[in-house]
Amino acid sequence: MIARGTLLAAFAHPDDESFGPAGTLALYASRGYAVHLICATRGEAGTPDPRIGPVGDLGALREEELRCAARILGLQGLHLLGYRDSGMPGSPDAAHPQAFIRAPLEEVVGRLVALIRELRPDVVVTFDPYGGYGHPDHIRMHRAMVEAFHRAGDPTAFPKHFARGLLPHRPARLYYTVFPLRPLRPLLALLRLLGYDPQRFGRNRDIDLEAALRAALPVTTRIDIRAVLDRKEQAMACHRSQGGGWMRSFRLPRFLRRRLWGFETFHRAIPPFRPGEPIERELFPEQASSSPAWFTRSRPR
């Protein structure tokens, strides 16, 4: 079967895809698009959920979890770069010689350019400039993928690829995964009322939600994933070592889960989103042109 188009997502760790835009990846895979995922590391620096018991090789376990999620989402290809998880700033993992943040940027960009030229995606999805919540590996992947997006179509960049038949190719669109701003502001206020410090959030208290809110980009694209929400939940559950079953642990009725988690949001970086342009409901232009008129009423926020 010939794919309708190709979507390439690039993230840093196993579970970034499932806790992130898994519904969008599954949705386009179900529609006949070729969906590929690049993962930079095996997530060795993650903190295992204590409920799963002792873990010998966390990297191997998280790679297995990633492959489980990729199968459920219907991905056509999973591409592992093999770098080591860098952890958060100041941690011993950040000083490891194989840490992703220590890899030469030109080396990483070259590998991403090769994959873009091989897979020839129409649309690329990656982290926003702040990496969602400031993780160094997320920020590194953003920087490397943005540069690779531009250089993959440059015939003077990485000419050694041509001998392998990897000819220049520039994707049509680049998107960043982003959080919707409207629910974030009251969430931070609620956390403060409950006695939590939004600047020290998460299991390891190393996430600054206030900084994430300040760095957040506006939503330009909102994808309805309700038709594949079950698949997203199953993919998340694959990541047992990272507590991936949390969404189902609430045991909420299906209609309420669809209302709470039935949409995923993005910021369109290329071509740049223009002020006043209607919010998108699709990543691929040909899909957007066939969307019902009511899909284009709201504006970015």
Residue 208 lies in a domain: yes
- Residue 106 and residue 189 in one domain: no
Residue 128 lies in a domain: yes
Q: Is the pLDDT of residue 244 over 90?
A: no
Residue 1 lies in a domain: no
Most confident among 41-50, 210-219, 247-256 (mean pLDDT): 41-50
Q: Of 190, 216, 242, which one is at a domain's C-terminal end?
A: 216
Residue 234 lies in a domain: yes
Instruction: Please provide the average confidence, as pLDDT, over all residues in the chain.
Output: 88
- Residue 106 and residue 165 in one domain: yes
Phi, psi of 75 (to 5 degrees): -70, 140
- Residue 291 and residue 199 in one domain: no
- Residue 66 and residue 193 in one domain: no
Residue-range definition of the domain harbouring residue 277:
6-178+218-296
Q: Is the pLDDT of residue 297 over 60?
A: no
Q: Are 123 and 283 in contact (CB under 8 A)?
A: yes
pTM of the model: 0.89
Residue 191's alpha-carbon distances to 114, 194, 195, 202, 203, in angstroms, are 44, 5, 6, 12, 15
- Residue 45 and residue 111 in one domain: yes
- Residue 206 and residue 57 in one domain: no
Tell me how far apart the alpha carbons of residues 18 and 67 are, in angstroms, rounded to a whole number. 11
Residue 301 lies in a domain: no
- pLDDT (average), residues 209-213: 76
Q: What is the pLDDT of residues 53-107, one digit of tens each?
A: 889 999 999 999 999 999 999 999 999 999 999 998 889 999 999 999 999 999 9
- pLDDT (average), residues 219-248: 91
Q: Which pairing describes strands 263-270 and 221-224: parallel, antiparallel, or unpaired? A: antiparallel
- Residue 169 and residue 193 in one domain: no
CATH of residue 74's domain is 3.40.50.10320
Q: Which pairing describes strands 263-270 and 77-83: parallel, antiparallel, or unpaired? A: unpaired
Count the domains in the chain. 2
- Residue 58 and residue 72 in one domain: yes
Q: Is the pLDDT of residue 223 over 60?
A: yes
- Residue 166 and residue 284 in one domain: yes
Residue 199 lies in a domain: yes
Least confident of 4-8, 132-136, 244-248, 268-272: 244-248
- Residue 186 and residue 106 in one domain: no
Q: Is the pLDDT of residue 247 over 60?
A: no
- pLDDT (average), residues 198-216: 71
Residue 85 lies in a domain: yes
Q: Which pairing describes strands 173-177 and 263-270: parallel, antiparallel, or unpaired? A: antiparallel
| Chain centre to alpha carbon of residue 147 | 17
- Between helix 229-238 and helix 58-73 the angle, nearest 10°, is 160
| Chain centre to alpha carbon of residue 253 | 27
Q: Of 201, 216, 231, which one is at a domain's C-terminal end?
A: 216
Instruction: Please list, in sequence order, all residues whose beta carbon lies within 8 angstroms of the beta carbon of residue 231, skipping any fewer than 6 positions away.
Output: 22, 23, 26, 72, 73, 74
- pLDDT (average), residues 163-167: 95
- Residue 208 and residue 83 in one domain: no
- Residue 209 and residue 93 in one domain: no
Q: Of 159, 190, 216, which one is at a domain's C-terminal end?
A: 216
Give the pLDDT score at 257.
79
